[in-house]
Structure 1
């Protein structure tokens, strides 16, 4: 689906910004509210990935806050991604989990929260960048403020 593809590309762009120190520490420290549904223990295969109600325990879903880097990794390494629409047919939320998390939990994030992330990171610039030579790695260590 094109929408899901565009979301994946957008999160990949955030990963590049974070890894290349193109934001401030505020983006690195950003915590994202999500809902976390634990895995039910039922077998997940390529042919039944779409059946999220059968694979995850939404009765015991809990609210959580995860790091932006953790969420980015869920999208970049997603094994399962599923977007839902509201009554007006607007995209409302995304269910996602990486190949590493698929047998642990499924994460739900609202489109409103995704918009906030994109706006926040897009407007986040570091006030100061510090470079310190590190002989062990034969390069500079970069820290942000």
Structure 2
């Protein structure tokens, strides 16, 4: 449980700004870049989890439906030695659209077994590639595209330990930023408490501005 929610929310907004700066990288990511992004994302969802547990986020935000996709397992069991072979492990030809709620995302990211940022590369003609894209160009041609293309951090593929042999999930980075900003800017006006005998603790009722929320 946390007492000073505003401090945590400010940190979340800082992570949002750093994530925005990563959307259009000028060069290939290094191991340090990947690690920093993963660290920021994990910290962001840990903060969101603590804010939810501390009654510092409205139910309107918690229950927001967030667009995403999931991909079924190919049948190959995911383990520590093959978890980087993403295209072999999941069926990316048949994406399934779905809606996430915030608690689901918190659980998946905090307990993630696979965390895979998806960067795209677009050539001058607008042809876009990712690590998961099927293409019909040679390795040499692909290398030229990578060297001369615009880069964009598009999404994250993720799955938790308990879901890794069922699905991998995908969320757009722009939607991730919306989540951070929505929670970070959530303003609660007043709290009221009523003791609940059954759970030997207090139920908390929050009053807030009706406009507090986010659209996806």
Asked if these proteins are the same fold (TM beyond 0.5), I'd say: yes
Distance 2:205 2:81 in 1: 45
Q: Which structure: larger Rg?
A: 2
Q: 1:143 Cα deviation (Å)?
A: 3.1
* 1:99 paired residue among 149, 161, 167: 161
In structure 1, distance between residues paired with 2:189 and 2:58 = 7
Give unpaired runs (5+ residues) of structure 2.
1-34, 122-149, 208-216
Tell me, in whole angstroms, the C-alpha distance in 2 between the residues paired with 1:42 and 1:139.
45
* 1:117 matched residue in structure 2: 179
CA RMSD of aligned residues (A): 1.4
Which residue of 1 is the match for residue 205 of structure 2? 143
1:69-109 deviation digits (Å, cap 9, x = unpaired): 10111100001100122223332210001111111110111
Partner of 1:14: 48
Q: Report what 2:112 is aligned to.
A: 78
2:119 and 2:91 map into 1 onto residues whose CA distance is 21
5+ residue gaps, structure 1, are none
1:31 lines up with 2:93 in the alignment: no
**Alignment TM-score, normalising by the size of structure 2:** 0.63
- Structure 1 stretches of 4+ with a deviation exceeding 4 A read none
Q: Does 1:65 align with 2:106?
A: no
